[in-house]
Amino acid sequence: MLKDLLANRTIYDTPNHELISLMIDDFIKSEILPLHTEWEKKGVVSREIWELTGEQGLLCIDVPEEYGGVGFDFTFSALFIEKLATYGITGPGFSLHSDIVANYIVHYGTEDQKYKYLTKMSKGTLIGAIAMTEPDCGSDLSSITTTAVDQGSYYLVNGQKTFVTNGQLCDFAIVAVKTPSPNNQGAITLLLIDSATAGVSKGTPFKKLGMHAQDTCSLFFDNVQVPKEQVLLEEGKGFQLMMAELSRERLTIAIASMGTAQGAIEETIAYTATRKAFKKPIAGFQNTQFKLAECAAQLQVNQAYIDNCIALEKEKALSPESAAIAKYTASEMSTKVMEECLQLFGGYGYMWEYPISRRFVDNRVSKIYGGTNEIMKILIAKRIYEGHL
């Protein structure tokens, strides 16, 4: 069985991991899976699921207890990300909220900011988003045009952000802005902007190729007054903060890619064992066996590297290049696995009611967000040629 091949993993090997894993399984089966199709139709999950997840202690898992988090290490966050992906759950933007937005505040927020946001984020009563990308600016974050002009005690923010995960539900967002000054016209600053602030508005939810249950939209800022107390760390440090935190974001994408691939392989094994062609199960054909053997082998090889990256992130030692390798290789592998598995479902793989079709379209964005895979190769290449060019 596939699980036997993956049984030598040591990243989740404590009794606490085992208990949390079982609890996550029960929670997903009882509270998330039954509603996911309905959320896909609506294009957004319910706020209730956020609060239920918070009650289970599954939000902000590695946020310190003093700020409302569980206080566990990153391996427990990774376990939740992986489990959701294995079950094919893409609606709730829990990881962005807990592992990216919260992490910025933990590392760079003031004490007031930490108590204001993290305590409620952990409960699911305050939903966070991050707004970096703009309509004319994708992976090149240095080219953003949203501005925050110094007005003394506050900034006046104008601009637009797009592809904002949790955009419709978010109560606040970390927004990347240009804070032009006489000495530096290109300085980027990160601001915590509450959605209820005058001048903030949300666009119509996007109709996406996949991830239909995950709400994604644009955010608009029209003469929004943001107190200077809402700056993360300090003015002009935004680009450095984003570069430092992107490694963790890319690792979370890699972890989800691994879970997605595992879930697809398991579903395909079960399907091919029962689906018959020419009077015998599809699994009886050598082509089927070889295709799934290739998928399982690539999953296990990639899993070893991703587990090592999880261990490094746990110790706050994950390098940008290692995270880029993780994101690039895992997303490429999962895309290939989706293609092979869907093909083995034949015509049924093209039917929306079969989970493999959802996985196929949901997974495709893994090669795009968090920095495209082309950008990942540039980062890796810069590292390997360091000192030579």
Is the CB of residue 363 less than 8 Å from the CB of residue 335?
yes
Instruction: Tell how far CA 278 is from the center of its chain.
Output: 42
Dist. CA 353–CA 100, nearest whole Å: 32
Ranges of beta strands (E only) in the chain are: 128-131, 147-150, 154-165, 172-178, 188-194, 200-202, 216-227, 276-277, 280-281
Q: The tokens of 32 are what?
A: 């998330």
Write down the catalytic residue from 245, 249, 267, 340.
249
Q: Report helix, strand and coil shares of the chain as percent, to nearest 5.
A: 55, 15, 30
Is the CB of residue 265 less than 8 Å from the CB of residue 256?
no
SS (H, E, C) 292-333: HHHHHHHHHHHHHHHHHHHHHHHCCCCCHHHHHHHHHHHHHH
Helix (H, G, I), strand (E, B) or coil at 232: coil
Is the CB of residue 52 less than 8 Å from the CB of residue 30?
no
Dist. CA 272–CA 344, nearest whole Å: 7
Dist. CA 47–CA 49, nearest whole Å: 5
Is the CB of residue 209 less than 8 Å from the CB of residue 352?
no
Q: Give CA torsion, residues 264, 266, 267, 273, to 10 deg.
A: 140
Dist. CA 194–CA 57, nearest whole Å: 24
- The yes-or-no answer on residue 249 being catalytic is yes
DSSP state of 205: P
Q: Is the dihedral of CA 16, 18, 21, 26 positive or negative?
A: negative
The single-letter code of the amino acid at 71 is G
- Helix 286-314 with 74-86: angle, nearest 10 deg: 160
What positions carry a catalytic annotation? Answer: 249
